[in-house]
Every structure is written in C-alpha cells, then in structure tokens.
Amino acid sequence: MTGHKSFSTERNIHTDFLEKMTYGDYLNLDQLLSSQKRLSDHHDEMLFVIIHQVSELWMKLILHEVKAAIASINNGDLPNAFKMLARVTTIQNQIIHAWDVLSTLTPSEYMEFRDHLGQASGFQSYQYRLIEFALGYKTPHVLKIYQKDPEILSQLKEAYHAPGLYDAAIKALSQAGFPIDPAIVDRDVAAPYKPDASVEAAWLEVYQNVDRYWQLYELAEKLVDIEDSFQQWRFRHMKTVERIIGHKTGTGGSSGVGYLKKVLDQYFFPELWELRTKI
C-alpha cells in the first residue's frame, strides 16, 4: 500500500506513452531481451549466454572509449584522454567481476549443454581482437577466423593496420621533444611491437621528472592501469575455465587453460613495466 500511495502522489509522472518513446523503446529492450536463445533445455545455459553477451557490450564501450582516447592523444588533448582511459579501467573491472558470476557454474552443469556450443568459443570474439589490436597486440593468423563475415573481416583488417594506443603515446613522447628512434615513430604498425631503448629512456626520464612531465606521466600510469586490469581479466578467465572444464581442449580448438596461461606473458606496453626495475 505504501508503494501505491507514493506513486499516486507523484502527479507529474508520465503514464500516456501511446505516441511517445518509452524507456524500453529508447534501449531497444524488445530486441535486447529476446536475444538470449538457449540451444538446450538446461537452466544454466541462460547464465552462460548472458555473461558473454554482457561482456561483449562492455567491450563495445571499451572500444568506443579507446578510439576516442587515441584521437585525443593525437590532437594533444591528454586530459580528455585521461578520463576516457580511466573509464576503460573501470569497465574492465566490471568484466573481471563477471567471471565471479560465471564461476558459479559447476563442471557437471556446464557439461549438460557444452556440446550444443559446437565449435563456438569466446576465442572467436571479434571485439576482443579489436581491443587487442587497439592495444598493440596483432597476430595475422587470427584474421582467418572471420572470413565467414566480410564486414567484420574488413573492420578487423582496418584496425590491424591502424596505429594503436601505444603508437599514439609514443608519438606524444616524440612531439614532446624526446629523441625517439625515427624507425619506431614511423614503424609499420601492423608488425608486432618490440621494446625499444629510446622509448624506454624517454619514459624513464618522464618518471624521474614527474613535475616537468606530469601529463606524460599521467598518460603512462593510465596505460599501466589498463594493462594491469587486462592481465587480471586474462587471469580470471584462465582460472574460471580451469575451474569449470579443467584442462580439456576449448570448444574453439585451442588448448584451453594452456593457451590462456601463455597469453599471460604478453605485454602491450613493455617499457612501462621494464623501467620500474630501473627507477
């Protein structure tokens, strides 16, 4: 009764939406909430589907923010990029905690519907690949996975050949007057990035003269935040997979836990980690 009285005293609440947009209309909730289609009758497949769909939505927002941050850095607007990159780290924390929910799925429960996935796997997430590309980790062989969809493949190829977040940061170092090796500034951004002495020396000077290079220092720390969170995401992914399927081969054909352990050794911004030993 209390709730009914509370609502009835709000005289200005809109209730006539015959010709107006509603909350559900704005968010396309009919389409969104009808997209959870189980392939089995098992209760817990709904959990599995929703966790992965929610993660894809968060990844869409990460890409939205990272692309804008790269543009801001290239335009010399580092403070604007800081807000976007800080938001990325906060989003990453949401995805990390999603594994806590998925880990409530037991091995016995998962095996009841695993065969219905066929060869579908999170390994095939094209948005995850776009994030890796934007952060500088590029491997050409993964593009073969997406030949089924020319539009997605085109999007991935464009991102593969585009400068990433670290390329923009290194360019900012160069524009600030640091003697970055021209071969790094003008490198083929589709090639795997390799640590460079001139980049490490520049970042080291930034960290040793924080007051003088405050914005570059802040940029570096935002990059470290993102990589740290990305590695935590990878670790929680690996442990959740190990908890649910042990060391079985992944549905997509990968070695499963073995593959996920190997990628923990990959670095996006290697000099920012190496210099910590030298400060």
Domain boundaries, the chain: 42-277
* Residue 75 confidence (pLDDT): 97
Average pLDDT over residues 178-193: 95
Q: Is the pLDDT of residue 3 over 80?
A: no
* Comparison of pLDDT for 85 and 279, the residue scoring more: 85
Confirm whether pTM is higher than 0.85. Answer: yes
d(CA 260, CA 123): 10
Rounded mean pLDDT, 111-125? 87
Is 187 one of the annotated binding-site residues? no
Q: Is 245 annotated as a binding residue?
A: no
- Give the position of tokens 């543009």: 71
Kind and range of the H or E run holding 110: helix 107-111
pLDDT at res. 88:
98
Pick the CATH number of 42-277 from 1.10.10.10, 3.10.310.50, 1.20.58.480, 1.10.1040.10: 1.20.58.480
- Please tell me whether 52 is known to bind a ligand: yes
Q: At what angle do helices 197-208 and 214-245 cross, to 10 degrees?
A: 110
Which range among 34-38, 39-43, 184-188, 237-241 shows the weakest confidence by mean pLDDT? 237-241
DSSP state of 40: S
47 burial via Cβ count (<10 Å: 0-12, 13-18, 19+): middle
Q: Tell me, what's the pLDDT at 2?
A: 55
Q: Which of 167, 219, 223 is nearest to 190 (CA)?
A: 167
Q: Is 123 annotated as a binding residue?
A: no
Is 11 known to sit in a ligand binding site? no
Please check if 141 is assigned to a binding site.
no
**Is 184 annotated in some ligand binding site?**
no
Rounded distance, CA 257 to CA 221, Å?
30
Tens digits of residue pLDDT in 221-246: 999 999 999 999 999 989 988 988 88
